[in-house]
């Protein structure tokens, strides 16, 4: 108890009660360790209990920087003042994406009853995810379980773990979107009505189909390309004669042109809606293809959901954001090609 006496002598020379707050913050770990068996420490003019020390320590943590998970998730960021809640939340997000990916990629009727580890094992076995990525998922689940079930870890570790979870979520979501888009190639007739067209007409037809289906690819060329790659690989191995075989892959430049036409059509629709009556909405919401693309002999609705100014603006915003990304990517690729030719 020498430490307690020394502490009492030290604090007796300070002004109370303001100084006690500073000292408790500085020495809170020592106080908790040394006074674990005590319920109360008295000082001139008052006393402090162990419960109050713990309450103060928790209060200090409230002002820490909030935890923000990276990647696309359906859940808001949670401050790591409650580390268990933060980790539990991102684990739920990971489990949700694992289920959705299993449902899309494996087509197994019993996925709803699988444990998390079964999802990882089956996805790895089917080569949907790599062994390295599967091990990363298992490691994260293990860390998350230990945190949730009471292991005390520093906030910095919680922050890093949540950041890792964000990266895992981004990868899982990307793969899930690829497999969902692959289903669009398999089941949507729009991709398989081009046999009567010439080669140039076929390219323009496919560009119109991409412009129409961009939301299915999350407005992303890589998702479109990877999904079409999966579809073509399955066509080669399982059903080469169905729907006329494989589908050509548009170049990045052609994909950007499809985005540009979607932007123009959404802008046209956005400007038209305030000027017309509601019974004319469906007509305004039909695609009008560029004349230079020829007679494509098809059209459909631009907006799939309810036709409104808000929905048109929301889609236009996503289309323009995608255009910014893909134009930059196209410039980078063009510069790389130029360097190779001049080297």
Give 95-150 pLDDT, tens digit per residue: 999 999 999 898 777 888 899 999 999 999 999 999 999 988 988 888 778 777 76
The whole-angstrom separation of Cα 176 and Cα 101 is 5
- The pTM for the full model equals 0.70
Are 191 and 283 within 8 A, CB to CB?
no
Distant-in-sequence contacts of 47-56, Cβ < 8 A, 24+ apart: 48/20, 48/24, 53/24, 53/28, 56/21, 56/24, 56/25, 56/28
Q: Which residues pair with 48 in a beta bridge?
A: 41
* pLDDT reading at 81 higher than 80: no
Average pLDDT value for the chain: 77
pLDDT at 141: 87
pLDDT at 148: 74
What are the domain boundaries of the chain? 2-61, 80-185, 193-342
pLDDT at 213: 95
In the predicted model, what is the mean pLDDT of residues 78-93?
71
Angle at 163 between CA 159 and CA 140, to 5 degrees: 95
pLDDT top residue among 339 and 254? 254
Are 221 and 177 within 8 A, CB to CB?
no
The count of residues in the chain is 343
C-alpha dihedral (284, 320, 223, 211), degrees to nearest 10: 30
Q: Is the dihedral of CA 233, 234, 240, 241 positive or negative?
A: negative
Tens of pLDDT, residue by residue over 281-328, are 999 999 999 999 988 888 999 998 899 999 999 999 999 999 999 999
């Amino acid at each position: 108890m020498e430490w307690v006496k020394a502490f009492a002598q030290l604090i007796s020379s300070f002004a109370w009660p303001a100084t006690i707050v500073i000292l408790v913050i500085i020495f809170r770990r020592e106080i908790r360790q040394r006074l674990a068996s005590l319920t109360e420490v008295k000082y001139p003019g008052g006393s402090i209990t162990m419960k109050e020390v713990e309450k103060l320590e928790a209060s200090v943590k409230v002002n820490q920087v909030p935890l923000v998970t990276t990647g696309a998730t359906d859940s808001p960021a949670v401050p790591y003042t409650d580390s268990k809640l933060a980790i539990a939340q991102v684990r739920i997000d990971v489990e949700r994406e694992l289920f959705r990916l299993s449902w899309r990629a494996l087509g197994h009727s019993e996925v709803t009853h699988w444990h998390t580890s079964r999802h990882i094992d089956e996805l790895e076995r089917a080569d949907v995810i790599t062994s390295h990525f599967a091990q990363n998922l298992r490691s994260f689940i293990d860390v998350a379980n230990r945190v949730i079930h009471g292991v005390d870890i520093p906030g910095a570790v919680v922050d890093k773990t949540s950041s890792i979870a964000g990266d895992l979520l981004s990868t899982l979501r990307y793969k899930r979107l690829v497999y969902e888009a692959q289903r669009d190639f398999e089941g949507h007739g729009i991709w398989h009505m081009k046999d009567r067209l010439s080669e140039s007409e076929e390219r323009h037809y496919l560009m119109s189909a991409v412009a129409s289906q961009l939301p299915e690819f999350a407005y992303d060329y890589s998702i479109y390309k990877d999904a079409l790659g999966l579809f073509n690989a399955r066509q080669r191995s399982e059903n080469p004669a169905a729907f006329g075989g494989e589908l050509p892959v548009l170049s990045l430049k052609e994909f950007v042109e499809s985005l540009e036409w979607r932007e123009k059509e959404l802008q046209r629709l956005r400007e038209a809606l305030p000027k017309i009556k509601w019974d004319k909405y469906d007509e305004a919401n039909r695609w009008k293809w560029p004349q230079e693309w020829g007679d494509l002999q098809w059209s459909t609705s631009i907006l799939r959901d309810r036709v409104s100014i808000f929905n048109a603006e929301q889609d236009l915003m996503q289309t323009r954001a995608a255009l910014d990304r893909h134009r930059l990517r196209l410039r980078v690729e063009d510069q790389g090609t130029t360097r190779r030719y001049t080297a």
